[in-house]
Structure 1
């Protein structure tokens, strides 16, 4: 990472990332960079969401209990993936935890709102069982839609030095 004394001229380059973007404004943030950040978030959310839905459905829990479990696990796994990468960079747990919260909270919240909103509004999806195609179809489509809605949010946040822009400071 190159540092400048003037924050609007700071350039972040990321190994494996072909884009460079100025911190503090969205002009140089590419859609592919935002999509990668969203995909990272989606991975943790999907693990938690699917695990929560499977647990709740397998144990015959009600819709509210299943959904709450899925949301809690989505946040847990979403934060955990980010936390793991920051800890590997040598950052202490307390600081890494704060970075994970700052980087992922809005992204996970938007993703969960869309994902659970789709499943709630989809006729019969809330009552589908693990063996039903509707269970997996509605879950997959809800995650795709959550990705599509959350990517512009992450692009906006990264362009302002927030969200996954915070995490990228520790990837070096």
Structure 2
């Protein structure tokens, strides 16, 4: 029982880490795209690119600090975060696009911000079991933890 609890705690921690990078990129992308009057597709594309950029960056930085060369740190981040970020981005953008008027609401609208917060919360809930499954198989954020234990 304790092992399952520890696995769940690790999955929640990994998902919070992922959510941080995704939220930075997602919010920044939605704000830029909305402020510039871009189409939903262009705004979502920018949000996804920025979510991956910030998500990977938050993993690469501490791995680099542990003395790992840049190329290897990038490979660790790709292995650790790609599935988690992808799931989170699919879910939060689908939710955002699915809420009537959310994308068109504008930056001063409570609908825009509430929808964005809700979409990220739903993405978190959906991604925790994905990360739990990955970690239980030595994948996802387990790669980062395994890597740190060897350095």
TM over 0.5: yes
Aligned partner (choices 71, 84, 94) of residue 48 of structure 2:
71
Structure 2, unaligned runs of 5 or more? none
SS of the aligned residue for 2:32 comes to helix
Deviation, 1:29, is 4.8
RMSD of aligned residue pairs (Cα, Å) = 1.4
- The answer to whether 1:136 aligns with 2:141 is no
Q: Return the alpha-carbon distance in structure 2 between the equivalents of residues 61 and 142 of structure 1.
A: 20
Structure whose residues are more often helix by fraction? 2
- The answer to whether 1:117 aligns with 2:94 is yes
Aligned partner (choices 3, 11, 15) of residue 38 of structure 1:
15
Matched with 2:125 is: 148
Deviation, 1:30, is 2.2
Deviation, 1:136, is 0.5
Deviation, 1:59, is 1.1
Counterpart mapping for 1:102-113 below 5 A: 102-113=79-90
Is the 1:29–1:158 contact (alpha carbons within 8 Å) kept by the matching residues of 2?
A: no
Q: Return the alpha-carbon distance in structure 1 between the equivalents of residues 6 and 134 of structure 2.
A: 10
Larger Rg: 1
Work out the number of aligned pairs and report it.
148
SS of the aligned residue for 1:171 comes to helix
Matched with 1:162 is: 139
Q: Return the alpha-carbon distance in structure 1 between the equivalents of residues 34 and 102 of structure 2.
A: 12
Aligned partner (choices 99, 103, 106) of residue 76 of structure 2:
99
Q: Provide runs of 4+ in structure 1 moved above 6 Å.
A: none
Counterpart mapping for 1:72-87 below 5 A: 72-87=49-64
